[in-house]
Structure 1
Amino acid sequence: MNPRNRLAASATLHCLTGCAIGEVLGLVIGTTAGLSNVQTIVLATGLAFVFGYGLSSVPLVRSGMPLAGALKLVLAADTVSILVMEVVDNAVMAVVPGAMDAGLGDAIFWGGMVVALTAAFVAAFPVNRWLIDRGKGHALHHAHHGPDAHR
């Protein structure tokens, strides 16, 4: 795999991890609390951004960057990727019959999540590759990671 595709895949997977944590947590909370589908989607999307930004900030802060600087960089670098993932993820969950109305013990809920998160990765990968090719997105993080980043 060429190095830029590898970096784009790594960036997309990293972003997907934070988004997935927030998305699943939001859907679990919304479903358990009996929130409407719209309320659940709003909660899940908000948490996806929080966890996405949070996970991206950790290695920057560990490298010595102040938290405010890390958050500023992460907001600039990751917002487009997270936005694409969330639009695709929520659209897929909304169109999988019964996924949004399923309980946490239903296979359709978890199957829908797998399909939605896979679709989100596929949609965000070319976005991250395009951003990296232009020195934006995850490429902004790369200079601040340690020497072993992305190995």
Structure 2
Amino acid sequence: MQTITGILSSPWFLIGWAALMLPSLVSVIRDLRSKNAHLMSLMRLDWCLTVVYSGLLGLLIYLNCGRKEIPRDTLWRRAFRSVAHCYSGCGAGEVVGLILAVGLFQLGNTGIAALTFAMAYVAGYALTVGPLVEKGVPVRTAIRDAVLSETPSIAVMEIVAISVDLMLSGKAGLGDPLFWSSMIVSLTLGFIAAYPVNVALIHWNVKEGMMDPRHTHHGGHEDRPQGTQSTG
């Protein structure tokens, strides 16, 4: 553990991360604009945030699962798109929660975990409920659908991510490289942990997963439980 934290404490880890993440982000943005502009705006944002959080891994997932150029759609590709959708909102909530908990409120581990988990949950649900309501789905229906389809994924993602972050970062503050490095590692591990959950939920028809990018048109299709009427 000391070896890992020693690596993460070095500014060179963040420099190396940025050196991989920024070109990956540029590559995704260029591809989305030139070849996959037909994807709904929310999913384009999801892919950009996935790359911001997970760098080269996010780029590889996008190239293999999120473009119209994929040869065919599969359960594993649908699950990756579903996780990316969840990840973008939860990741934003987690980043904001950690910054507030550590930098502003200077909470202990219990407070950090509680606030971060709450922020991630709110952001994750908002990313599902908001677009559905905007497209005419009743609020109660949208909330019910979000609870059914997103709760297991968000719970697993955040339990893993927050636990790893607290374990790695220790008492690191906002000015310490370890704070940001631990956040990067924890976000990606949370993504990986939530992936099999989404595979199972889609396999069991609890959720459909995001639409095949080869068939997506303007207006899109939100990730929702099986049987919910299309809002696209």
Greater Rg by CA: 2
Give the deviation of 1:137 after TM superposition: 3.2
Distance in 2, Cα, partners of 1:115 & 1:23 = 13
Please list every run of at least 4 consecutive aligned residues from structure 1 whose deviation after the TM superposition is greater than 4 angstroms.
none
Does 2:116 match 1:116? no
Distance in 2, Cα, partners of 1:126 & 1:35 = 32
Distance in 1, Cα, partners of 2:106 & 2:231 = 41
1:7 aligns to what?
A: 78
Does 2:111 match 1:25? no
Distance in 1, Cα, partners of 2:170 & 2:114 = 13
User: What is the TM-score of this pair, normalised by structure 2?
Assistant: 0.58
For residues 58-117 of structure 1, the C-alpha deviation after alignment (integer angstroms, 9 at most, x for no partner) is 221232101221011101110000000011101211221xx1421112211111111101
Q: Percent identity?
A: 37
Distance in 1, Cα, partners of 2:75 & 2:81 = 10
Number of aligned residue pairs: 144
Aligned-partner residue type, residue 25 of structure 1: V
For residues 26-81 of structure 1, the C-alpha deviation after alignment (integer angstroms, 9 at most, x for no partner) is 11111121111210110000111111001111221232101221011101110000
User: Which residues of 2 match residues 64-103 of structure 1 at below 5 A?
Assistant: 64-96=136-168, 99-103=169-173
SS of equivalent residue, structure 1 residue 141: coil
5+ residue gaps, structure 1, are 147-151
Higher RCO (Cα < 8 Å, 6 or more apart): 1
SS of equivalent residue, structure 1 residue 144: coil
Aligned-partner residue type, residue 127 of structure 2: L
- Aligned CA RMSD, in angstroms, stands at 1.7
1:22·1:52 contact (CA, 8 Å) conserved in 2? yes
1:149 aligns to what?
A: none
5+ residue gaps, structure 2, are 1-63, 65-72, 210-222
Higher helix share: 1
Cα 1:104–1:132, aligned 2, differ >3 Å: closer, same or farther?
Answer: same
> Of the candidates 93, 107, 112, which is equivalent to residue 35 of structure 1?
107
